[in-house]
């Protein structure tokens, strides 16, 4: 995967805590939170929701709810008291949500999006379910690409890193010589993906959040979240809201 040739750089930031070392004006940032925020967002746009407002603080969620918006969110996996539903991609697939705007607040995912939004970069959302769609879009922008893993409370996360590896591999392949990486975290992610890609569902048994979800009875989303390319959507941040690129 190591490659010095190619005009544009690909790098991977393992934790929001390291973001200040990676952020770059004019870059394209792919934010990922595989279990479950970024997978849920892709499910929502596949289900044709109009927009998602990424929310960080619980008081903000209460405010959106009182204004009549659909409110989704969790803390440590548990649905927020002010939310209509939690963070399962299945919640976001309900037909009644078509055309709706959802204010969404999650432990790590929406926080990472808000962090990336502070830099002067284009922010898109990546999951296994939109892997090819998001990487194709990213490559066509002809910019430096940074993959930001939401992680768990600023810690490294295996599932986000697997996605980062799959995306690094895909970007280098689709970029056809235009992208290079000499970033150790991108190379480590790609190596991890190589060791897991034949059976990600078995590999993910090692992941802490997989077991957290199991304890909460929320682990019905594993296979769904690790399915590659089931959704042809690219959520992109515009005016502090996520919309699908098809509606740009
Ligand atoms: C997060 O944002 O931390 C996650 O998506 C948590 C979850 O809902 O599993």
What is the C-alpha to C-alpha distance for residues 126 and 31, in angstroms, rounded to an integer?
Answer: 6
How far from 198 is each of 33, 203, 212, CA to CA, in Å? 21, 9, 24
The answer to whether the CB of 8 falls within 8 A of the CB of 174 is no
What is the C-alpha to C-alpha distance for residues 152 and 241, in angstroms, rounded to an integer?
Answer: 23
Q: Across the strands, what pairs with 179?
A: 8
What pLDDT, on a 0 to 100 scale, did the predictor assign at position 89? 98
Calculate how far, in angstroms, residue 149's C-alpha sits from the geometric centre of ligand 1. Answer: 12
What pLDDT, on a 0 to 100 scale, did the predictor assign at position 4? 80
| The overall pTM is greater than 0.95 | yes
Q: Cα–Cα–Cα angle for 58, 12, 89, nearest 5°?
A: 45
Q: List, for the chain, all residue ranges whose pLDDT scores fall below the cut of 70.
A: none
What is the C-alpha to C-alpha distance for residues 233 and 220, in angstroms, rounded to an integer?
Answer: 22
Q: Which two tokens stand for residue 133?
A: 């769609």
Calculate how far, in angstroms, residue 37's C-alpha sits from the geometric centre of ligand 1. Answer: 5
pLDDT digits (tens, 9 = 90+) for 13-70: 999 999 999 999 999 999 999 999 999 999 999 999 999 999 999 999 999 999 999 9
Picking from 237, 122, 106, the residue whose alpha carbon sits closest to that of residue 160 is 106
What pLDDT, on a 0 to 100 scale, did the predictor assign at position 60? 97
Helix (H) or strand (E) holding 28: strand 28-32
Q: Measured from the CB, is residue 36 less than 6 Å from ligand 1? A: yes
What pLDDT, on a 0 to 100 scale, did the predictor assign at position 178? 95
Ligand 1 atom nearest 88 alpha carbon: 8
What is the C-alpha to C-alpha distance for residues 248 and 93, in angstroms, rounded to an integer?
Answer: 22
Picking from 105, 131, 165, the residue whose alpha carbon sits closest to that of residue 234 is 131
Strands of 84-234 (E only): list them: 101-105, 122-126, 145-149, 179-180
What pLDDT, on a 0 to 100 scale, did the predictor assign at position 169? 97
Calculate how far, in angstroms, residue 78's C-alpha sits from the geometric centre of ligand 1. Answer: 9
- The CATH number corresponding to 8-238 among 3.90.1560.10, 2.40.128.110, 2.40.50.700, 3.40.630.30 equals 3.90.1560.10
How far apart are the two ends of the chain, measured CA to CA in Å?
A: 33
What crossing angle do the helices spanning 131-140 and 158-175 adopt, rounded to 10°? 50
Calculate how far, in angstroms, residue 5's C-alpha sits from the geometric centre of ligand 1. Answer: 36
Q: Measured from the CB, is residue 33 less than 6 Å from ligand 1? A: yes
Q: Measured from the CB, is residue 231 less than 6 Å from ligand 1? A: no
């Amino acid at each position: 995967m190591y490659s010095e040739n190619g005009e544009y750089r690909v790098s991977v930031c393992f934790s929001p805590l390291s973001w200040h070392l990676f952020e770059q004006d004019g870059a394209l940032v792919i934010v990922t939170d595989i279990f479950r925020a970024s997978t849920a967002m892709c499910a929502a746009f596949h289900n044709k929701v109009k927009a998602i407002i990424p929310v960080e603080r619980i008081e903000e969620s209460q405010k959106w709810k009182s204004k009549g918006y659909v409110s989704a969110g969790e803390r440590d996996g548990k649905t927020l008291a002010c939310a209509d539903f939690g963070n399962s991609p299945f919640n976001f697939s309900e037909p009644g949500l078509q055309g709706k705007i959802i204010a969404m607040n999650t432990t790590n995912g929406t926080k990472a999006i808000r962090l990336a939004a502070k830099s002067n970069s284009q922010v898109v959302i990546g999951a296994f379910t939109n892997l090819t769609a998001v990487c194709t879009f990213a490559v066509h922008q002809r910019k430096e690409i940074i993959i930001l893993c939401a992680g768990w409370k600023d810690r490294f996360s295996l599932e986000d890193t697997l996605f980062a590896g799959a995306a690094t591999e895909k970007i280098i392949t689709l970029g056809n010589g235009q992208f290079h990486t000499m970033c150790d975290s991108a190379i480590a992610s790609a190596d991890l993906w190589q060791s897991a890609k034949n059976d990600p569902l078995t590999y993910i048994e090692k992941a802490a959040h997989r077991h957290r979800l199991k304890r909460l009875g929320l682990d019905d989303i594993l296979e769904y979240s690790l399915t590659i390319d089931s959704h042809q959507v690219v959520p992109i941040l515009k005016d502090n809201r996520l919309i699908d690129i098809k509606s740009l």
